[in-house]
Amino acid sequence: MEPLIKMLDDFILNNLSGVIRCDETFISPYTMNNDVNFILDKPKSNITVFSGGSGQSFKFAPLIGKCLAEKALNKDCSVDISCWELDRFLSKK
């Protein structure tokens, strides 16, 4: 598992601005954010991310697929998914 964690850490540190280091590693059968919402966003022009499918994402599969495709193709999402965007975690100071 260590080589996979290192590869993932290296990728995140090199491709997502603002990430300084990994504070903790926790392996779980599913992921969930503090606000219990997904992450669906495009933090860089060549990276589109979906995460946080804690077992409930199957209910949203058509919407997730459509929004992922729109993001990947640099299109505006056809629905408001701001509650799923990464910047919701940033401090609003």
What residue ranges do the domains of the chain occupy? Answer: 2-88
Span 36-92, pLDDT tens digits: 788 899 988 888 888 876 677 788 889 999 999 999 999 999 999 998 898 888 765
Report the SS3 class of residue 65: helix
Amino acid, res. 93: K
Beta-carbon contacts of 71 under 8 Å, excluding residues fewer than 6 positions away, are 40, 41, 42, 48, 77
pTM: 0.62
